Chains A and B, each alone.
Chain A
Amino acid sequence: MRGNLAKAFELTNTQVFRRAALPKSYTDLLGRKLFLFLLTVQGLGAFALITLGVILRKYGVAKNVIHPRIRQEIARAGVALMPMFLFVALALGFLVVGQTVSALAKVGATNYLGSTMVIVIVRELGPLLAAMLVLARVGTAHVIELGTARATGEVEALEALGIDPVHYLIVPRVIGMALGVFSLTVYLIIVALGSGYLFAFLQDVPLTPGDYFKQITEALNWLDFALLALKTIAFGFFIAIVTCYHGLAQPLRLEEVSRVAVRAVTQGVIVCVLIDALFIVLYLLT
């Protein structure tokens, strides 16, 4: 169990580079940044694979302890965020969807409404916005909680009790966040599309609700549903991996909390954008 964590953290000790003296030239600086980037990628990759391995290998182990923890995490990364997502979805509907519907109606291009909505809301804006909000609200909490757990020796205490820290601390957070981002994205998309039409209706756009939703359903195909599920689960999984990795990587001192949290959020955003780019390629290929 301890070996698992050691592989992810001790082999890729990026602190060596972070604490190194100032570089003498720009090429040194570039080289150091590149090494730092590669070590971080290696560490995150190892941590993701270890977590995936534990999820698969320990499926059903200690269900009476792990399942309530997973439910707790789903509540935290999903149910608890619903009021905030309602507000954001309404705003998205009014600001983006409503204006788009209105603009397309003005130029007589309402035939393109369905495909435009699917590309903008279902494929891109909905999943990415949901991921960013969950990262900001729950991801930062992961960094702080796990950093504190390391500092207070909770990880060693779990190992002494024969409890795998990855199974107890990481797996519920990863599953909770993956399911949370997926569910919240679906919720966000439905509310945004609904409120968007409401805004267009208030502007007297000549479009019946039947036509509006018919166009959207015609523009959607099975691949949109499949890739939406895959993409949002990937967002949640990797956000949890990045934030848990930075939380557990080292015992956090109080003055380090903000720096590590900012680094985790930055890397979380980068990972989400990279996953999004990967899915754009998939959409274009299919």
Chain B
Amino acid sequence: MSEDQNIPAIEMRGVNVAAMRDASFTVVEDVNWPVAAGEFWVIAGQEHSGKSDLLMLAAGLMPPAAGCCKLFGNDTRTFGEAELAERLRVGFVFQGGQLFNQLTIAENVALPLCYQKNLTPGAAMPGVNGLLELMELSPLADVTPADVAANWRQRAALARALILRPEVLLLDNPLAGLGARHRQWWLHFLDQLSRGHRQLEGGPMTMVVTADDLHPWRNARRKFALLRDKQFIPLGAWNQVETASDPIVKELLAVQLETTI
């Protein structure tokens, strides 16, 4: 948890988000978005609406094209080596995992811990093994990502993001391409994390996820926002999402209806 509860974990004011691959192209404009500590946000949008770029910017991985983005009250534009500790209070899970293919699953999870704390692989292993067990990944510890199904790669990416015990977790479309059992596991686990996971001995975690299907995220505690036509539109709680007249919201809700018919 943030030391000062009054400082938002993430705060964007008049932010323009540039595309990660082409900095000259703006994908979202004039974002005003405060994320208080402990909140759980779901950012919905169609493909290429700028969800991933917004999340990368929120993590401090790229500067805003305009406006100001703050992490725990620190402007991300000034982030350098000295502010690395602040950056590491935020964990990031990429869509598809983006694991390092030359390393095993256990080495992937251990890498940030070994690098940031200068630990030998042996010294990092107790913590890594505990996390792998929690994620049901222990049987795959010595396998390289190429030999693991996508469902498990995504889980390994979550373990890698959690190894440094971040206070904020940003997840880019974490349910994309997962089977039903894995989706249930993810929803349950993320819910536990947002409340404060007992085994991880942390407080309630601030979370932001992106989604192209809103139904799995139905929960009264969560807050929702929509990316549409380069606009960031806060929708509010689930009951407001259900009653929203926006055609894109209806479309994102209809994804689930169509698949259940």
Contacts and interface: CB of A to CB of B under 8 A. Distances in A.
Given A64-B119, A162-B88, A156 B111 contact: no
Contacts of A152: 98, 101
A160 B59 contact: yes
Interface residues on B, range: 20 to 34
B114 A64 contact: yes
Contact of B56 (A10, A62, A156, A162): A156
A168 B23 CA distance: 25
Contacts of B112: 161-163
Contacts of A65: 111, 114-115, 118
A12 to B, nearest CB: 14
Nearest to A61: B118
Interface residues of A, number: 19
A1 B118 CA distance: 19
A156 B61 contact: yes
Contacts of A160: 59, 61, 92, 94, 161
Interface string B33-50: 000000000000000000
Contacts of A263: none
B184 interface: no
B126 to A, nearest CB: 16
B5 interface: no
Contacts of B101: 152, 154
A161 B94 contact: no
A162 B87 contact: yes
B116 A162 contact: yes
Contacts of A1: 81
Nearest to A10: B23
Kindly name the residue among A2, A65, A156 whose own CB sees the greatest number of chain B CB atoms within 10 A.
A65
Interface in A128-177: 152-154, 156-157, 159-163, 168
19 contacts: A10-B23, A62-B114, A62-B115, A63-B118, A65-B115, A65-B118, A152-B101, A156-B56, A156-B94, A156-B98, A157-B94, A160-B161, A161-B111, A161-B112, A161-B115, A162-B84, A162-B115, A163-B111, A163-B115
Interface of A: 1-2, 10, 61-65, 152-154, 156-157, 159-163, 168
